[in-house]
Amino acid sequence: MPKYTRIPPFSGKKLIRLLKKDGWSIKRRARHGVALAKKFSDRVRVTVVPDSNATLDDGTLGAILGAQQTNIGKAGLLDLVNKYGV
């Protein structure tokens, strides 16, 4: 499996699969996306990921990875991609 140094293009479905492997669980589905949640020591983080095969925009992906939603960051996403694959 190749080691990624840059973030590959992500569709919403690929990101949902990757987050589920990281321990996020599906809480609810809507027409526009899927709500994923993960319990941390003192709180539960929730994010909504678009459920589509279209590539996510950089701004949307950045917002999902940001401190207010998943708090993974781009470096954390690269670690997950290298650990679990795309």
Tens-digit pLDDT profile for residues 17-40: 999 999 999 999 988 899 999 998
For 35, counting Cβ atoms within 10 Å of its Cβ (0-12 exposed, 13-18 middle, 19+ buried), the class is middle
The DSSP code for 55 is B
Q: Where are the domains of the chain?
A: 12-84
Check whether domain 12-84 has CATH 3.30.920, yes or no: yes
Question: What share of the chain in percent tops pLDDT 90?
Answer: 78
Task: Quote the pTM value.
Answer: 0.90
